[in-house]
Amino acid sequence: MNKEEMYEYDIKYTKQKLNEYLKKGVEPELCVKINGNEYMIIPLKDKISFQWIGKTDESYFNSVEELFSAKLVNGVILNNDWQIIEDIYYY
């Protein structure tokens, strides 16, 4: 994804889209690459999952904000680390 496309997925926009997906029951697999590691975020019907692709099982959170505030695998905190994302895409 080029820099312009990544700008569209700023943290505020991404949280808004994930909340919309949760409400609609849509389950797109949003992938982000941080420090060379790829992670997947999946909004489910009543929770949101996060995993280090191919390395960990899914962890579940009650809300988008709970996920983005949590200290995740590799010390990632999405609210703090969003600006260092190297790539973002749908799987």
Residue 76 backbone dihedrals phi, psi, to 5 degrees = -70, 130
Compute the average pLDDT of residues 53-70: 97
- The pLDDT value given to residue 8: 64
Compute the average pLDDT of residues 74-84: 96
- The pLDDT value given to residue 12: 94
Say if residues 71 and 62 touch (Cβ distance below 8 Å). no
Report the distance separating Cα 24 and Cα 61, nearest Å: 17
- The pLDDT value given to residue 5: 55
Q: Based on the structure, what is the number of domains in the chain?
A: 1
What token pair was written down for 86?
A: 């190297």
**In terms of pTM, does the model score above 0.85?**
yes
User: Residue 39 sits in which domain range?
Assistant: 3-90
Q: Report the percentage of the chain scoring pLDDT > 90.
A: 84
Q: What confidence tier does 77 reach under pLDDT thresholds 50, 70, 90?
A: very high
Report the distance separating Cα 20 and Cα 26, nearest Å: 8
